[in-house]
Amino acid sequence: MNSKHVTVRRTIYGCFSVLAFSLMACNSGDNSTPGQMAEKTGDANTLLGAGSTFVYPLFSKQFSEYNKETGLKINYQSIGSGGGILQLTNKTVDFGDSDAPLNEEQTQKMGVPVLHIPMCSGAVVLSYNLPEVKDTLKLTPQVLAGVFSGKIKTWNDPQIASLNSGVSLPATPIVVAHRSDGSGTTNIFTTYLSKVSPEWNTSPGKGSSINWPIGLGGKGNEGVAGLIKQTPGAIGYIELAYAVQNKMAFAKIQNKSGNFITPTVASTSAAGNIQLPADAKVSLTNTDAAEGYPISGFTWALIYQEQGYNSRSQDRATKLAKLLWWNIHEGQKFCEPLHYAPLSPAAVTVAENILKSATFNGKPILQ
């Protein structure tokens, strides 16, 4: 039975080499991460999440801290809100995260109730790349709609110039950067444009991925920010954290009350200071608050209300619930340094109630 022997031997060699690699890997892992003993138990100590790139800078910090505290590893892939929803629907991840609540069709496809737990709110800023312009540009909703529909083509267009008297605007063509993937950030931005511009509302409309009339597509907030940074004359919409961390310029936007508002944690909080509905699904765009930044929104972690699916263990469900609980309490302290608006105490209460409604085989997970 020599052929078999050869195969057997090959398999054995294979196993040995896998083992050797694993051992090496474990050793190197010990230096950087706690919870090394848990490594042996394998995946039981890892939660998998996917979705919004909007919240990724915050999540990567929070999860890294949570890992230091508890040893639990959270693998969060920022593939876009649309991706997060789809992967949760396909049950390939433990939780999703989206900056847009599920729409009717998505809800239907999930089949079972999905909880939206608000994590924080953030501002979508209009970042631009004009090295020669030192002042902060001011933009109105009408100009924004004009730029993103391709009607305003150069930076020295009278419509932009009249808002920014005293600023010498270059004749550079405007390069619009938008998302190439399904995105909650796009949803927040286009929902806003649809509210303020009737033309935009008819076409191209609002949604997580729309049919852009012009511009370049980038994957994720990362990709759009990268495009803006690399392309002179570019303008695009990204989460505040990305703009600040990368020292990119961003515009003041005129809100409903007529004030030009710089996106900051304070102006985002001002917009988010409303009574949340019990399911927390609410849009913050075009706020009535006088000092509120008009293009902001919540981001929601998405989990199945009934956690006992696909032969998941109760342990896993508890870990997930505890993590999200930590996120809306202790984790909130990481929001401000990263330029996200933390949840208001009232919003935390709403979030707590939603999280408490999560069950495992019908029994509540958190008491």
Partner 1 sequence: MMNPKLRYRLVKSKSVEWIIVLFAFLITVPLIAIIFFVLKTGISKISWHFFTNIPKPVGEAGGGIANALVGSLLIVLVAALIAVPIGILCGIYLSENKDSKLASYSRLAVDVLQGTPSIVTGIVIYFWLVKPLGTFSAVSGSVALAIMMLPIVIRSTEETLKLLPSSLKEAGLALGLPYHKVILRVVVPCGFSGILSGVMLSVARIAGETAPLLFTAFGNPYISTNVLKPMQSLPLLIFNYATSPYEEWHDLAWGASLILLIWVLLLNITTKLITRKWKVQL
Partner 2 sequence: MKPIKGFSLKKVRAESAFKRTLVIMALVMIVIAAGIFLTLLVQSLPSIKALGGHYLSGKTWDPVSDIYGALPFLLGTLLTSFLALLISIPFSYAIAIYLGEYNPKGWLSGFLKNIVELVAAVPSVIYGFWALVVLVPMVRAIETKVGAAPYGVGILTASLVLAIMIIPYAASLGRELIRLVPSSLKEGAYSLGATRYEVLKNVTLPYTKSGLFAGLLLSLGRALGETMAVTMVIGNTNILPTSIFSPSNTMASVIANEFTEADRTVYLSALIELGLVLFLVTVVINLVGRMIIKRFTNE
List of residues contacting partner 1 (CB under 8 A) = 2-3, 6-7, 10, 14, 17-18, 21-22, 24-26, 28-29, 31-33, 39, 42-43, 46, 48, 56-57, 60-61, 63-64, 67, 73, 75-77, 90-93, 218-220, 222-223, 225-226, 228-229, 241-242, 245-246, 248, 310, 338
* Axis-axis angle for helices 345-356, 314-328 (nearest 10): 170
* Distance in Å, CB of 182 to partner 2, minimum: 4
CB of 12 to partner 1, least distance (A): 12
222 binds, among partner 2, partner 1, none (CB under 5 to 8 A by kind): partner 1
Pick 189 or 200: Cβ nearer partner 1: 189
* Cβ atoms of 299 and 52 closer than 8 Å: yes
User: What residues form DSSP beta bridges with 178?
Assistant: 217
Shortest distance, position 32 Cβ to partner 2, whole Å: 25
Q: How far apart are CA 210 and CA 21, in angstroms?
A: 45
In terms of phi and psi (left: phi > 0; alpha: psi -120 to 50; beta: otherwise), the region of 80 is left
Cite the beta strand spans of the chain per DSSP E: 46-51, 73-77, 95-98, 114-128, 138-139, 175-179, 216-218, 234-239, 249-250, 252-254, 260-261, 296-304, 359-360, 363-364
Q: How far is the CB of 50 from partner 2 (least distance, A)?
A: 8
- The pair phi, psi for residue 15, each rounded to 5°, is -60, -40
Residue 21 near which of partner 1, partner 2, none (CB within 5-8 Å, type-dependent)? partner 1
Amino acid type, 177 = A
> Does residue 310 come out as left (phi exceeding 0), alpha (psi in the -120 to 50 range) or beta?
left
CB of 195 to partner 1, least distance (A): 28
180 binds, among partner 2, partner 1, none (CB under 5 to 8 A by kind): partner 2
CB nearer to partner 2: pick between 231 and 246:
231
| Phi, psi torsion values for 243, nearest 5 degrees | -70, -45
Question: Cα–Cα distance between 265 and 250 in angstroms, integer?
Answer: 14
Residues lying near partner 2 in the complex (CB under 8 A) are found at 1-4, 50, 79-87, 89, 105-106, 109, 172-173, 175, 180-182, 204-219, 227, 230-233
Quickly count: other Cβ atoms within 10 Å of residue 350's Cβ.
21
> From partner 2, partner 1, none, which one binds at residue 18 (CB under 5 to 8 Å depending on kind)?
partner 1
> What are the beta bridge partners of residue 46?
73
Which residue, 29 or 113, has its beta carbon nearer to partner 1? 29
Q: Which is nearer to partner 2, 66 or 95 (CB)?
A: 95
Distance in Å, CB of 280 to partner 2, minimum: 21
Using CB distances below 5 to 8 A depending on partner kind, what does residue 248 bind out of partner 2, partner 1, none?
Answer: partner 1
